[in-house]
Amino acid sequence: MSFGIAVGVPETKLPAGWRWTPLREVARLESGHTPSRKQPGYWGGDIPWLGIRDANAHHGGAIFETRETITEAGLANSSARLLPTGTVCLSRTASVGYVVILGEPMATSQDFVNWTCGDALEPRFLKYALLHEGRERLAQLGTGTVHKTIYYSTVEALHIALPPRREQARIAAELDRLLALVEPVGAQTDELLRTLDGLWRQALSAAFRGQLTGADASRWRRASVKEIARIDTESVDPAEHPDLPHVAPNHIESGTGVLLPHRTVGEDGVVSKKYRFQPGHIIYSKIRPYLAKAVLVDFEGLCSADSYPISVRSEDVSAAYLHKVMISPMFTEQAIPLQGRTVLPKINKRQLYGLEVPIPSPAEQAEIVARLEWVQRAIRDVRGAVEGSQGDVEHFTRSILRRAFHGELVEPDRSDEPIAATLAASEVPGPYRRQSEESMGKTSKKAVKAVDRGRIMKAVETLGASFDFAELRAALSTPPYDELQAALFELLGGEDPPFAQVFDSERACIRFERAES
C-alpha cells in the first residue's frame, strides 16, 4: 500500500500539502462486542447493533438500520460501546474489508474496528481511503490461514495520507458526486446477474416438469439412479498417472454443470488414491450436495475421492440428460435431506443410488438437453455483456479513487489551513456518551479490574523486554480482547507507564518495550 492508508510511514512521495499521519492521532479507535446471547433482556432494544451482514449490505455507504438491536442492559453489561453518528467501521475478521459510516449512534460486534474522527479528519475521507485500498489489499493486513483477522496491533500502526481538512471535504464531496452517477448502473448489473441465475434455475425446474418442451411429465416413468447408472469407484495410484487431468469439487461450477480451469495430477501434487474416470462419465460431488456440482466429461482423468464418477448403464437414458437432471433443483431437493448435519455434509453411495430420476423418451431427452443448452448459451451471452458493464463500473470507481488519493481530483486551495496547523490545534474526541456516563464507566472499570496491573506485569516478566499484544494476551491465558485492550490503555495513559509502544518496521506492527528501571 502506498497511497491513502499504510502500515507505518511509507517512502511514497505525497502530493504537495499532504502528510502521512498516524490514524490513532486523528481518530479515536474503538472496538465492538457481542452482549451475551443467553440473556434475552440484552437483545431487541432500541440500540442498533452492527454485524457483518449489515456491513456487507451497506458496504461503502451509510447505515441507519441493522438486522439486530440491543438494549441499554446489553450495552451496560458488556464491552459493547455506543458509537456516535459518523463513526467509520471496518470489518476486520472473516469477511475483511467492508466499510460503512454510522448514520446514527450504534454499537458494533467485535468483528469491527471503528474510528470516531477528530477535527482534523473528515469521516467520508477516511471511508474513501479504506475503499481505495480495497478488500483484497486490506485482507493482506490480516493473519490466519482459513479466516483472516486484522489485529489491533496492526490497526494501531496505520497511517493515513492527509491533505488540508477543507481539501478532504472537497475530495469527499466530489467522490460522492461522481460515484453517485454510476451507483444505479452497479445496482442494476447486480440485479441482472441475480435474475440470470434465477432464470437458469427456473429453466432446469421447468425442464423436468415437462414445461420446457410442452410434454406431459405425468406419463414419464420414474427410476432410481441405481436402475439406470453405476458409480464407478476404481481407485488408482496418482503417481502412475501424473499427466492426466485432475478434477476436484472446486473445479466444478455450482448448479451449471460447467467445468472450471483445472490442472494435471502432477501439477496438483496429488498423493492419495483417486477415482479414474473415462469420457462420458458424470463427475458428481458427494460433498455439500446442496451445491449441485456435476460435470459431464469427454476426456480421461482422475477425480477426487470427494466425487463419484457415474456412468449410464441404461440404453434409454443419455448421459447428457442424466447430467442435466443431477444439477437440477428437483434432484438436489432429494439429496439435501440425506446430507446430514455434519461440518462437511455429504451423500453416500447408497443414498445417491436411491434418488429418483424422471425418464421421458430418448427423443424427449434429446429435446430437453438441446433446449437447456440453448438457454444456457443465451444466459452466458447476456451475462458476459452485463459483467462487462459491471467491470466498467468497477474500473471507473478504481480510477476515480486513484485520482483522489494522488491529489488529482480537486484543485488545492492556497487559503486552506495547512494540515500541520490543523493537527496541532485538534484533539482526538473523547468517549461518546449516550445517556448514562455511569453505564459506560462501569465497562472501563470492570475491564481494568478483570485484567489488572499486577496480572499484566507478572505476565510481562515472562515475555522479556519486548512483546506484542498477541504474545501478552497468550501469556494471560487469553482474556477477552476488549478487557485487555482497556487495561493496557489505562496503564499506558497513567503516570510512569511500565512500558511504551514502538513501531516494529520489520513486522509492520506495534510492539511494547519495557521501561528501564
Q: Which residue has the cell 461450477?
A: 253
- Highest mean pLDDT range out of 198-202, 316-320, 392-396? 316-320
134, part of any domain? yes
Query: Are residues 98 and 122 part of one domain?
Result: yes
Q: Do 228 and 307 belong to one domain?
A: yes
Which residue has better confidence, 184 or 280? 280
213-224 tens-digit pLDDT? 999 999 999 999
Identify whether 237 is part of a domain.
Answer: yes
Residues 11 and 144 in one domain: yes
The helix-helix angle for 319-326 and 362-405 (nearest 10°) equals 50
Residues 137 and 41 in one domain: yes
Predicted confidence (pLDDT) at residue 165 exceeds the cutoff of 50: yes
Instruction: Give the domain CATH number at 290.
Output: 3.90.220.20
Q: What angle separates helix 437-450 from helix 481-493, to the nearest 10 degrees? A: 90
Q: What per-residue confidence (pLDDT) applies to 444?
A: 38
Distance separating alpha carbons of residues 432 and 82, to the nearest angstrom: 7
Distances (CA, A) of 301 to 243, 257, 261, 263: 9, 17, 14, 11
Judged against a pLDDT cut of 80, whether residue 477 lies above it is answered with no
- 150 and 238: one domain? no
* Phi/psi of residue 196, nearest 5 degrees: -65, -40
Distance CA 481, CA 470 (A): 10
pLDDT at 507 over 60: no
What local confidence, expressed as pLDDT, does residue 244 receive?
96
Q: For residue 258, what pLDDT band results from cuts at 50, 70 and 90?
A: very high
Half-sphere exposure of 211 (CA within 13 A, CB side): 6
Residue 502 has pLDDT above 70, yes or no: no
- At residue 436, the pLDDT reads 38
pTM, entire model: 0.58
Does the structure show a pLDDT above 60 at 201? yes
Q: Is residue 240 part of a domain?
A: yes
Question: Are 231 and 286 found together in one domain?
Answer: yes
Q: What is the pLDDT of residue 435?
A: 39
Q: What is the mean pLDDT of the chain?
A: 86
The predicted pLDDT at position 450 comes to 45
Confidence of residue 186 (pLDDT cuts 50, 70, 90): confident
Of 94, 181, 90, 92, which is closest to residue 129 (Cα–Cα)? Answer: 90
Report if residue 187 sits inside a domain: no
| Domain span at 28 | 5-164+417-425
pLDDT at 331: 96
Q: What is the DSSP string of 78-143?
A: SS---B-TT-EEEE-BSSTT-EEEESS-BEE-TTEEEEEE-TT--HHHHHHHHHHHHHHHHHTT-B
**For residue 174, is it within any domain?**
no
Question: Mean pLDDT across the stretch 110-128?
Answer: 94
Q: Say if 353 falls within a structural domain.
A: yes
Residue 375 has pLDDT above 70, yes or no: yes
pLDDT at 494: 58
371 domain-assigned? no
Specify the pLDDT at position 438: 37
Strand partners, 503: 510
Of 308, 306, 303, 350, which Cα lies nearest the Cα of 326? Answer: 308
Within a domain: residue 374? no
Q: Residue 259 gets which letter from DSSP?
A: B
**What's the domain count of the chain?**
3
Per-residue pLDDT band at 245 (split at 50, 70, 90):
very high
pLDDT band at 490 (very low <50, low <70, confident <90, very high): low
Does 226 share its domain with 249? yes
Residues 472 and 421 placed together within one structural domain of the fold = no
Phi/psi at 129 (5° precision):
-65, -40
Predicted pLDDT at 180: 86
Is residue 265 domain-shared with residue 147, that is, in the same domain? Answer: no
Same structural domain, 353 and 246: yes
Segment 411-451, tens digit of pLDDT: 989 899 999 999 888 877 766 554 333 333 333 333 334 45
Reported in sequence order, the residue ranges of 200-329 that DSSP labels E, i.e. its strands, are 221-224, 229-231, 235-236, 245-247, 263-264, 274-277, 282-285, 294-296, 301-303, 307-312
Residues 153, 237, single domain; the answer is no
Kindly indicate the confidence band of residue 467, based on its pLDDT and cuts at 50, 70 and 90: confident
Which residues are CB-neighbours of 73 under 8 A, at least 6 positions away?
Answer: 39, 41, 42, 45
> How much is the pLDDT for 416?
92
Residues 458 and 421 in one domain: no
How much is the pLDDT for 437? 34
**Tens digit of each residue's pLDDT (9 = 90 or more) over 332-362:** 999 999 987 666 789 999 999 999 999 999 9
Give the domain-ending residue among 367, 401, 425. Answer: 425
